[in-house]
Structure 1
Amino acid sequence: MNLESTRRRLTERQADTVDRLTRAAVEVLGEEGFAGLTVRMVAARAGVAPATAYTYFSSKEHLVAEVFWRRLAASPQPEASTAEPVDRAVAVLRGVALLVADEPELAGGVTSALLGRDPDVEHLRARIGLDIRRRLTTALGEAADPDRIEALELLYAGALVRAGMGYGTYEKLADRMEAAARLLLE
């Protein structure tokens, strides 16, 4: 998958380097956790110089946020013609929550990374938020109003922080978000 970098447009070779770095980041996260992750470790795992890695990623937070963004961008969206709007919105929330459910170290890292102040992270956080908003708006169709969308965004953000703090698994988070979304929307 060739996604535009948050810092610049990429040639095919550069896109390959970024792909290798993001794959290596997931591996290192699984072994070391977010606290132990460094861009240097990821660069070594990916077979690139640290300076090259820093050309693409300003920080470990930026790198991990990019991993999440790429997974979100590649994830399928619920079919607009299927199910009821509430069911489609729930499917969006569940899909986002389960993007990292099988990888607890990555899940915790994503939560930490997305809370960062790095300008590149802020840019990705905005892209992620807009993508999720677009998915929710599409899912709700005519039932999409700004207050409902914002309530679902607050639900998702709070659930992400809660899961990142260790108050339950992402699978349980998805179930709780579904229940809360149904309370809000039905």
Structure 2
Amino acid sequence: MSSEAVADPQPVAAGSRRRDRRPEQTVRKVLDAGVAELRRSSFGGLTMRAVAARAGVSPASAYTYFPSKSALVAAVYLQLLRAAPVHTDVNQTTRTRVTTTLREMALVVADEPELTAACGAALMADDPAVTPVREQIAAEVITRIRAALGPGWPPAVSATLLMTFAGALMTARFLSFDQIAGQLDDAVVLVLGEPDRDG
């Protein structure tokens, strides 16, 4: 996960006002602090007060952007997901692109058990503050799946693959990455059918 702030490429014209980047920088600091806290603790032990202290902001400021720790951890997952590669190489088969896409998204937190458990717990939380982040995650996943599929596939295919991926994400606490990857591969074959449409 990159900690670089997004650069403002536009020069400031005389008399104009530069966009206030403090909220963006605060959000990034809180997200980074959330990841650091999860790496030393657990979702159960995570507190917004500790995250705010690590980020160097007031708890009130942290709560302004993330109303709960579940919303914070869900936003961490969204940020990691957005940084994952997108697979649209037309020289690969549809099945290869889709399988690789699902594997890459599943791998986002696979190497960090604390993050894996925290993301699963946060995304399943009965917390209204998580709902908009869950919707953004679903939109990101479906966009990536559709890009990997390419044109001509009915919406039900991408919707089914989204549900398959969501299920994989929820079982990541209980299965190894190799088990999840194998099950995702099998699901792609079942959903896309035989033979591979690209050849």
TM-score (norm 2): 0.82
When residues 183 and 107 of structure 1 are mapped into structure 2, their CA distance, relative to the original with a 3 A threshold, is: same
Q: 1:128 aligns with which of 130, 137, 146?
A: 137
Structure-2 separation of matches of 1:59 and 1:41:
13
**How many residue pairs end up in the alignment?**
177
SS class of match (1:37): coil
Deviation for aligned residue 1:175: 2.9
Letter in 2 for 1:112: A
SS at 2:125 equivalent: coil
Counterpart AA for 1:114: L
State the distance in 2 between where 1:129 and 1:15 align: 23
Q: Which residue of 2 aligns with 1:76?
A: 85
TM-score, structure 1 as length reference? 0.87
Pair 1:92-2:133 in alignment: no
Give the CA deviation at 1:143: 4.5
1:177 aligns with 2:178: no
C-alpha deviation, 1:27, in angstroms:
1.2
Contact 1:101 1:171 in 2 (8 A): no
Q: Which structure 2 residue ranges, 5 or more long, are not aligned?
A: 7-18, 194-199
Specify the alignment match of 1:7 in structure 2. Answer: none
- Aligned letter for 1:68? Y
Q: Distance in 1 between matches of 2:169 and 2:89?
A: 25
Mapped pair 1:32 → 2:65: no
Query: Does the CA-based 8 Å contact 1:85-1:143 persist in structure 2?
Result: no
Distance 1:174 1:49 in 2: 41
What one-letter code is carried by the residue in structure 2 that aligns with 1:69?
Answer: L
Contact 1:68 1:110 in 2 (8 A): yes
More helix by share: 1
| Cα offset, 1:150, TM superposition | 2.1
Q: Give 4+ residue runs of structure 1 displaced > 3 Å after superposition.
A: none
The CA distance in 2 between the partners of 1:64 and 1:170, in whole Å, is 20
Structure 1 or 2, whichever has the larger Rg, is 2
Moved more, 137-146 or 92-101: 137-146
Q: Render the CA deviation track for 1:116-151: whole Å, top value 9, x for unaligned.
A: 233331111111111111111121113521222122
Q: Structure 1, residues 91-139: CA drift from partner, whole Å, max 9, x if none?
A: 1111110011111101111111111233331111111111111111121
Unaligned runs of 5+ in 1: 3-9
Identity percentage of aligned residues: 38
Give the drift of 1:65: 0.6
Q: CA deviation at 1:89?
A: 0.9
Aligned twin of 2:151: 142
